[in-house]
Structure 1
């Protein structure tokens, strides 16, 4: 009799375990109900704390709307940002135009909204006001500062415009403010940064300390992009939530919910054209030519 009871007890335990596993496998149990997790990537240069504050309302809103765990991940230079998008580690990216071009071309990110900012951004090469240089050609055999790879206005656009020159060396400034500091103290003859950043950061120096030697072609603003790893259905929920956000939320986060994402195809093509120059930039002297008919 005891063996029979033990047999029925084992059968009952097995039946209960089987029912539990079936419920979990079918999504019928709470064990399988994991919230969506989203990581938002930001490039914040040297103002990381204030950048996070700007996105906190958006972070809270998105978490509530999607019943998701939403994390902010700021990085302080384009090099780290490029690494993150190439690995598709960020679910959403608030990307300046250069990083957006790389995310689209190399990591299959999808642009969904334009970011706020100047519609037609330009890169400027800045010199000290007392500099003798008047044209790009005057920078031959001089040291200059570029931004880091991944920046359209600090790196790709000026590199394109400097094609054909031989430079003494190229220094890489991690922030636009650093590029201006190097120009001011004579470490480099010229520094590249966006026109908007120049107007912002020049305020930290004496009036009339700098002048613009050259301005590049215009490029579109940045974009909000979504990772190819995000499920298509989740993507629709994210886009809808972002479209329905209040103006206070979208303004803080810096995107335009009722506009088409920017067309970055020309910038993507320009980035591809200057790729062969990237190895030359690290040499001393930096000979910015390639063994073809040029970049056009």
Structure 2
């Protein structure tokens, strides 16, 4: 596994997806059978005591495909999308909302999707001594969200607050912390009243979730999502590599690899749909609109 950092392609706003991306050369449109598989990811963990989930993903995928895997680090979810559609990398693994945004541009393909389980996706975390007891108590408070394209760290909790009668920018103040870890840090340092995140992270404990039992409480439950995650691919990806990845990735995301994949393990055990149609993401439109994003505008 080789790892690179892609220079900032711009800390992209969601509206950037509506723009025509730079037309990169069609690198790899006729890839050699043994060419490296390239993946764009955001940082997942820097804990030196455990294998980094990104490194584990690369190692497991190399074992399943017999191909070298190169990881390119980018700063946020939307930069993953831009790296794919600009032909800088082959694939990226995304949660439901950035996948819906990307697929709706018509410039990125979905190789496969993990269907939703019906379980709540998100919750908001407060410190145990917080006066906040219910979602309605977030009125007048400051709430940390992970990333403006995060399903569990933004779209779903914003919708949860909306369903409780609270509107972003009007009834509560929101900040973007640059990721789930940043949200937790802001809460621990007293910079915010709550940090909204994925349920699965609160269940993992350290290093993915930094609060010990008795230090925190969960307030609220968001609805479930029809699609929990997607593997997105550049449209110029050759058919041989597509088929190879569609066969290998469900094997990588198996129960025996759950501990090594850590934050990625939320997809394990979910039904997989190969090459889902754009209509699979139609249910995201209503929730996205609550956050001020209209999928139909992102063409």
Bin of the TM-score, shorter chain as denominator length: 0.5 to 0.7
1:177 match: 181
Work out which structure has the larger RCO, using CA pairs closer than 8 Å and 6 or more positions apart in sequence: 2
Question: Residue 208 of structure 1 is aligned with which of 210, 214, 219?
Answer: 214
| C-alpha contact (below 8 Å) 2:114/2:270 kept by paired residues | no
Give secondary structure in 2 for the equivalent of 1:276: coil
1:102-141 aligned at under 5 Å gives the runs 102-106=101-105, 107-114=107-114, 120-141=119-140
Report the CA distance between 1:69 and its aligned residue.
5.4
Structure 2 Cα separation of the partners of residues 95 and 244 of structure 1: 18
1:62-141 aligned at under 5 Å gives the runs 64=66, 70-75=69-74, 77-106=76-105, 107-114=107-114, 120-141=119-140
1:1-296 aligned at under 5 Å gives the runs 36-47=35-46, 50-61=52-63, 64=66, 70-75=69-74, 77-106=76-105, 107-114=107-114, 120-163=119-162, 164-165=166-167, 166-167=170-171, 169-201=173-205, 204-219=210-225, 220-240=227-247, 259-261=271-273, 264-270=280-286, 272-276=288-292
Mind listing any 5+ residue stretches in structure 2 that lack a counterpart? 1-30, 295-299
| C-alpha contact (below 8 Å) 2:160/2:223 kept by paired residues | no
RMSD: 3.8
Structure 2 Cα separation of the partners of residues 258 and 208 of structure 1: 31
Report the CA distance between 1:62 and its aligned residue.
5.6
Task: Give the TM-score of the pair, scaled to structure 1.
Answer: 0.65
Give secondary structure in 2 for the equivalent of 1:204: coil
Task: Give the TM-score of the pair, scaled to structure 2.
Answer: 0.65
Structure 2 Cα separation of the partners of residues 196 and 256 of structure 1: 12
2:19 match: none
Mind listing any 5+ residue stretches in structure 1 that lack a counterpart? 1-31, 279-296
Structure 2 Cα separation of the partners of residues 258 and 142 of structure 1: 35
